[in-house]
Amino acid sequence: MTPFRNCPILALSLLATAGLLSACGGSDETPLPTLDGRAPLVVGHRGASGYLPEHTLESYTLAIQQGADVIEPDLVSTKDGVLVARHEPMLSGTTDVASRPEFAARKTTKMVDGDATTDWFVGDFTLAELKTLYAKIAPADRPQGNDGKFRIPTLQEIIDLAKAKSRETGRTIAIYPETKHPTFHIEQGLPLEDRLVKALVDAGWNSKEAPVFVQSFEPGSLKALRAKGLQVRMVQLIDADWVDFMTGQTTYDAIAWARPYDWTKAGDTRLYSVMVTPAGLAEIKTYADGIGPWKPYIASLKYTLDAAGKPRDMNGDGKLDWSDASSMAPTSLVADAHKAGLFVHAYTFRNEKRNLAYDFGGDPQKEYLLYFRTGLDGLFSDFPDTAVAARGAYLKEMGH
């Protein structure tokens, strides 16, 4: 615990100048470089999805047990208009739907954000039907031992879990719902926004102080939520397609990751990259409280070149990819966002070697430390226990 938690943050610099920090119960701790001076948040990304099938009550519960401050449900709508947690409106990647003969005829093709997608869609199932499915872990190299055991949760069940765990642990467990493919849901006649506002109002959580962050890639969804009276903290997510490891620049080749789909649909040809400029941040500040950038916007990575100017296969596995590239110096994005009055929560932190830059030497803590030192306000992790341990190391380093 830091004594600064009890200090009005605006008074901190004055107190420091006057040598009066002890008035806050502290002495000589270095203030943290986050927007509010508090310790960065650990968000359990889809729960503790490195360990258990994502977006299940069991995965969220494990994240809370591992010390996550926040659990993160992605929201999609059932046919009967119930908000449930899935990363995408399709079901085959994270459930056993493909092995269920009673639903074989539901497989169909829909346009999702401009891409023809063949799968089973949440919006073609009632909640009662969805509740007969079992979740499975998505990446092939993560433990499959709990596949076929857990069900798909509703937003209401997740709100109830956060409240129950807050009472049980004495910590405040927040939720971080995302409106997933909001334009697609409007096209399907199943808009997410009204139902999300109602659920949060009914939960008694419609205020800036409520333990809720709402996130979306589509600015139109966040603006609609605000217009419908939602008062909670909102977060503009900022994506990119990939990184050009020769230059470290983010790339925008695939349309789905080049810009928000509501921009594409409206003929707005700007890219996500505009959002990280000072003008873009100022625009975001008119409707949101923070940004959720893909992490290379904060510290990108690039290949090491050999004498002939060719990228080196650093880990010698015969392939050239993310895990051969090394971290570059952090950009000014966190500082720029703070200047604009926006907090920054970056995604996504993962333990596997294939997901780590080469210079971290397979140690995820090194990656967390690089990011925490930029003043990052929070991060999404598939492995909340690792993130919490790394935050402890960071706080120790800062004298807390």
Residue ranges in contact with Ca ion by CB under 5 A: 313, 315, 317, 319, 324
- Which backbone phi and psi does 379 adopt, to 5 degrees? -150, 155
Residue with tokens 């449930």: 84
Q: Closest distance between Ca ion and the C-beta of residue 361, in Å?
A: 14
Q: Whose Cβ is closer to Ca ion: residue 15's or residue 301's?
A: 301
Shortest spacing between CB 315 and Ca ion, in angstroms: 5
Whichever of 342 and 357 has its CB closer to Ca ion, that residue is 357
Residue closer to Ca ion (CB basis): 67 or 311:
311
User: Nearest to residue 253, comparing CAs of 266, 262, 263, 244?
Assistant: 244
- The CB-of-330 to Ca ion minimum distance in angstroms stands at 24
- Please, which residue, 132 or 315, has the CB nearer to Ca ion? 315
Q: Residue 306 or residue 317: which is nearer to Ca ion going by CB?
A: 317
CA dist., res. 197 & res. 15, Å (int): 40
Q: In whole angstroms, how close is the CB of 307 to Ca ion at the nearest point?
A: 18
Least CB distance to Ca ion at residue 314 (A) = 6
Nearest CB to Ca ion, comparing residues 194 and 317:
317
Cβ atoms within 10 A of the Cβ of 285, count? Answer: 16
Q: In terms of residues, how long is the chain?
A: 400
Nearer to Ca ion, 313 or 336 (CB): 313
Toward Ca ion, which CB reaches closer, 157 or 313?
313
Residue 297 CB, nearest approach to Ca ion (Å):
24
CB of 357 to Ca ion, least distance (A): 12
Minimal distance, residue 325 CB to Ca ion, in Å: 9
